[in-house]
Amino acid sequence: SEHFLSVRDLYVQFATEDGTVKAVDGLSFDLDRGKTLGIVGESGSGKSVTNLAILGLHNPRNTTIAGEIVLDGQELTGASTKTLEKLRGKKMAMVFQDSLTALSPYYTVGRQIAEPYMKHLGASKKEARDRAIEMLGKVGIPQPQTRVDDYPHQFSGGMRQRAMIAMALVCNPDLVIADEPTTALDVTVQAQILDLLKDLQQETGTAIILITHDLGVIANTADDVVVMYAGRAVERGTVRDILKTPEHPYAWGLLGSIPRLSASVDVPLAPIPGSPPSLLNPPSGCPFHPRCTFAGEVGGDRCATERPVLPEGRGSACHLTPEQKRDIFIQQVQPR
Ligand code: SF4
Ligand code: MG
């Protein structure tokens, strides 16, 4: 089947003074038009790096990329810098976490929204300014014609995030990548921004990749979810699968509970002990094994030696079935 975006066996490695960082280690996923894929994981899980690779924003001097990224039939991993630059803004765009670094303090908000419209679609100054006003209105800035000449510091944090979305969407891109787009905002504004993205998606049919460490952010926004750990996808499913019946111990940790242990009660879990592994020297076998409370229960040291495979479609990369893990968990919390 033809997906709008198809990522297959993606590997991204950086050369550093200390050695090779395996930032993305064999990642595959698909995304269709009008859909949102949530990529969830802690910092250092490879989720941001994946998306920089899709956009071609990695540093080509120290980065090696292998695998396939096919966007609307076009292969991106081998594409030239020039091709990628053309695609960015026009066909794909990015919403960053921090509007203060993404927006220049020296230019008006309107000019920064108008610029990609002129550059990619050849619009005149006047057309682009009108379009900037239109876009500010679309993202919910009241009286946009009176705000178009404001500088970023004259906007609140939430308004700047809206302006950044206006800038990303000004050329009607087919793919928007939003990396922690609401992390810097308070909860109410977060919800407004996520609603806004969803509304704009319904209007334009753009595909969205939403990168976050927060399962709450994907709950009402994503269709499908990939959970990443140490540069690998460890679980994938629909957003309902991931929130209601997650299978990987890491996903249980992110969620803070083991679901459906009994009919009605979720069992709260302590936060995952330890920290994400160094990608200079990733753990052998299952990358989660140094932190996993189930690793010792799997025979033959398999977790430390054998890499579990993530199945196609719904599933998780673990040597144990969810049922086996729940049985072990019950024994662990209720010793006879
Ligand atoms: Fe834990 Fe082993 Fe499953 Fe990895 S494969 S998540 S270490 S039980
Ligand atoms: Mg990040």
Condensed to tens digits (0 to 9), the pLDDT of residues 275-321 reads 888 889 889 999 999 999 899 888 879 999 999 999 989 999 999 99
Task: Find out whether 251 and 259 touch, Cβ atoms under 8 Å.
Answer: no
| Candidate from 288, 309, 310, 327 with most ligand 1 atoms within 8 A of CB, to mutate | 288
Strands 74-75 and 63-71: antiparallel
CA dist., res. 82 & res. 87, Å (int): 9
Ligand nearest to C-alpha 309:
1
pLDDT one-digit tens code per residue, 216-271: 889 889 999 999 999 999 999 999 999 988 999 999 888 876 655 544 455 666 66
Quick one: pLDDT at residue 209?
95
CA dist., res. 187 & res. 208, Å (int): 21
308 lines ligand 1 (CB under 6 A): yes
Cα(266) to centroid of ligand 1, in Å? 21
pLDDT one-digit tens code per residue, 142-176: 999 999 999 999 999 889 989 999 999 999 999 99
Cα(292) to centroid of ligand 2, in Å? 23
Ligand nearest to C-alpha 305:
1
252 lines ligand 1 (CB under 6 A): no
Cα(330) to centroid of ligand 1, in Å? 17
Quick one: pLDDT at residue 259?
59
Quick one: pLDDT at residue 112?
96
Residues 6 or more apart whose Cβ sits within 8 Å of residue 213: 40, 41, 42, 43, 180, 183
Q: Which protein residues have their CB within 5 A of the ion that is ligand 2?
A: 48
272 lines ligand 1 (CB under 6 A): no
Joined together, the tokens standing for residue 95 give 């919403």
Quick one: pLDDT at residue 68?
94
Q: Tell me the mean pLDDT in the region 2-28.
A: 93
Ligand nearest to C-alpha 293:
1
Percent of the chain, pLDDT > 70? Answer: 94
Quick one: pLDDT at residue 335?
55
pLDDT one-digit tens code per residue, 3-13: 999 999 999 99
Cα(180) to centroid of ligand 2, in Å? 7
Ligand nearest to C-alpha 23:
2
Cα(121) to centroid of ligand 2, in Å? 30
